[in-house]
Amino acid sequence: MPSRLIAHLAHVEVLSSKPADSVAFYTEVLGLERSGEEGTSTYLRGWGEWDHHSLVVTEAEAPGLGHIGWRMLSPEHLDQAVARVQERGVDGEWVDGSVGHGPAFRFRGPGGHQHELLWETERYVPPPELVSPYPNRPQAYRPRGIAPRQLDHVTVMTGDPLADAYWYRDTLGYVFTEYTVLDEAEIPVFSMLTNNEKSHDLGLVIDQSAMPGRLHHVSYWVDSRDELLRAADILMNCDAGVEFGPGRHGMGEQDYLYTREPGGVRVEVNTGGYRLYRPDWETLRWTPSQGSNVFYRNLPMPDTMMEGAPHVDFSAPEDGTANPWQAASVH
Contact positions with a copy of itself (CB under 8 A) in 67-96: 71-74
Can you tell me which of 70, 107, 190, 295 binds a copy of itself, judged by CB under 8 A?
295
Q: Could you say whether residue 253 binds a copy of itself (CB under 8 A)?
A: yes
Q: Which is nearer to a copy of itself, 202 or 232 (CB)?
A: 232
Strands 202-206 and 188-194: antiparallel
Can you tell me which of 40, 237, 315, 326 binds a copy of itself, judged by CB under 8 A?
237
Cα–Cα distance for residue pair 275/201, rounded to 1 Å? 13
Cα–Cα distance for residue pair 153/10, rounded to 1 Å? 10
Cα–Cα distance for residue pair 178/180, rounded to 1 Å? 7
Q: Which residues pair with 118 in a beta bridge?
A: 71, 104
Of residues 116-155, those binding a copy of itself (CB under 8 A): 132-137, 140-143, 145-146, 149-150
Q: Which is nearer to a copy of itself, 5 or 15 (CB)?
A: 5
CB 203 within 8 A of CB 256: no
CB 263 within 8 A of CB 22: yes
Alpha helices in the chain (DSSP H): 19-24, 75-87, 161-172, 225-236, 324-327
Q: What type of residue sits at position 203?
A: G
Q: Could you say whether residue 225 binds a copy of itself (CB under 8 A)?
A: yes
Q: Could you say whether residue 227 binds a copy of itself (CB under 8 A)?
A: yes
Per-position x/- string for 258-277, each x denoting binding to a copy of itself as judged by CB under 8 A, each - no binding: --------------x-xx-x
CB of 7 to a copy of itself, least distance (A): 4
Of residues 156-175, those binding a copy of itself (CB under 8 A): none
Q: Could you say whether residue 288 binds a copy of itself (CB under 8 A)?
A: no
Q: Which is nearer to a copy of itself, 40 or 74 (CB)?
A: 74
Alpha helices in 252-328 (DSSP H): 324-327
Q: Which is nearer to a copy of itself, 91 or 277 (CB)?
A: 277
